[in-house]
């Protein structure tokens, strides 16, 4: 099978060494397999994404020695693809509108006194899952702001047990319930990370999803969406995350390690590749 990998950053700031590690990881995996490495811009969040950051991503990665086919897919230009996928899920009866604000969700969790926790914090308590369909439809028709959530239990009942393969961790039993009824379309954006990434990886023919292990749990949801939408199933390779001197995961706060800063200091790309865990052979 022809290998296709991708690096899919969100243009919300400068790339740092952690991004370089992830991009090089995907690039090398494609090269070793004689395949193709894609770059994708995940810019569905209009409040956080900036065109100048997208330009910065192109510049930094090219400087680092990476190349990729153009045109680059930008999620903000493909919202109709995600809407079509959401429609299909709607037709299957596995999504529901959620009118809860963040504050209401917190209040509901506090009231219940207990909420199951997932890897990303307390799970959505399911408040809107039980709304009568007619009432929910009327509120949507009246223009009430809402997100769309996946009814994980219903969806799993439809697909039955699922598995997925990670090149580092081996076969996994899909456990999307650990993330609860995730959002598939946000109040402020017509899709969400989970839906857009799943649809795009299929449309772009990605056969090996390489990304940081911080997204390991998200893959349970993506595998479920693939089954519901009859999409091809890639392999995954979740890689470890680079840490700073204090042993914490690198983040945008480690501004000194922005690739741009290193470039401006005159650090050569080969040295930055080595700092990112990929010394030249």
Nearer to ligand GLU (CB atom), residue 57 or residue 100? 57
The residue (of 10 and 28) whose beta carbon lies closer to ligand GLU is 10
Residues near ligand GLU, by CB under 6 A: 8-10, 42, 197, 211, 215
Nearer to ligand GLU, 212 or 277 (CB): 212
At closest approach, how far in Å is the CB of 161 from ligand GLU?
23
CB atoms within 10 A of CB 247: 6
Report the C-alpha gap between 150 and 89 in whole angstroms: 9
Q: Which is nearer to ligand GLU, 9 or 180 (CB)?
A: 9
Minimal CB distance to ligand GLU: which residue?
A: 211
Tell the smallest beta-carbon distance from residue 219 to ligand GLU (Å): 9
Q: Exposure pattern of 194-214 as b/e (b: 16+ CB <10 Å)?
A: bbbbbbbbbeeebbbbbbbee
First-to-last alpha carbon distance for the chain, in angstroms, is 26
Least distance from ligand GLU to the Cβ atom of residue 163, Å: 19
The upper half-sphere exposure of residue 131, i.e. CA atoms within 13 Å in the direction of its Cβ, equals: 19
Residue identified by tokens 């429609």 is 87
Helices and strands (H and E) in the chain: how many: 10, 12
Pick between residue 49 and residue 94 the one whose CB is nearest to ligand GLU: 49
Nearer to ligand GLU, 109 or 206 (CB): 206
Helices (H), 64-175: 79-91, 102-112, 133-141, 152-159
**Which structure tokens are listed for 87?**
């429609």
Least separation in angstroms between residue 10's CB and ligand GLU is 4
- Taking the complex as a whole, the smallest distance from the CB of residue 215 to ligand GLU amounts, in Å, to 6
Minimum separation from the CB atom of position 198 to ligand GLU (A): 9
């Amino acid at each position: 099978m022809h290998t296709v990998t991708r690096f899919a950053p969100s243009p919300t700031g400068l790339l740092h060494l952690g991004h370089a590690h992830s991009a090089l990881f995907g690039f090398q995996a494609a090269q070793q397999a004689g395949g193709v490495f894609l770059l994708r811009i995940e810019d569905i969040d209009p409040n956080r994404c900036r065109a100048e950051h997208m330009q910065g991503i192109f510049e930094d990665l090219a400087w680092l020695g990476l190349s990729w086919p153009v045109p680059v897919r930008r999620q903000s230009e493909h919202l109709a693809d995600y809407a079509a996928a959401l429609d299909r899920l709607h037709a299957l009866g596995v999504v529901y509108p959620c009118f809860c604000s963040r504050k209401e969700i917190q209040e509901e969790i506090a009231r219940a006194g207990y909420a199951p926790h997932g890897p990303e914090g307390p799970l959505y308590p399911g408040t809107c899952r039980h709304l009568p369909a007619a009432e929910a439809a009327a509120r949507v028709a009246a223009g009430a702001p809402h997100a769309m959530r996946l009814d994980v239990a219903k969806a799993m009942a439809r697909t039955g047990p699922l598995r997925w393969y990670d090149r580092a961790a081996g076969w996994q039993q899909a456990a999307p319930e650990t993330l609860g009824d995730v959002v598939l379309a946000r109040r402020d954006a017509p899709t969400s990370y989970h839906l857009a990434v799943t649809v795009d990886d299929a449309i772009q023919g990605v056969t090996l999803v390489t990304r940081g292990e911080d997204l390991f749990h998200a893959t349970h949801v993506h595998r479920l969406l693939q089954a519901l939408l009859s999409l091809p199933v890639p392999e995954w390779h979740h890689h470890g995350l680079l840490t700073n001197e204090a042993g914490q995961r690198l983040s945008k706060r480690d501004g000194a390690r922005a690739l741009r800063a290193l470039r401006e200091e005159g650090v050569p790309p080969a040295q930055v590749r080595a700092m990112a865990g990929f010394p030249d052979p």
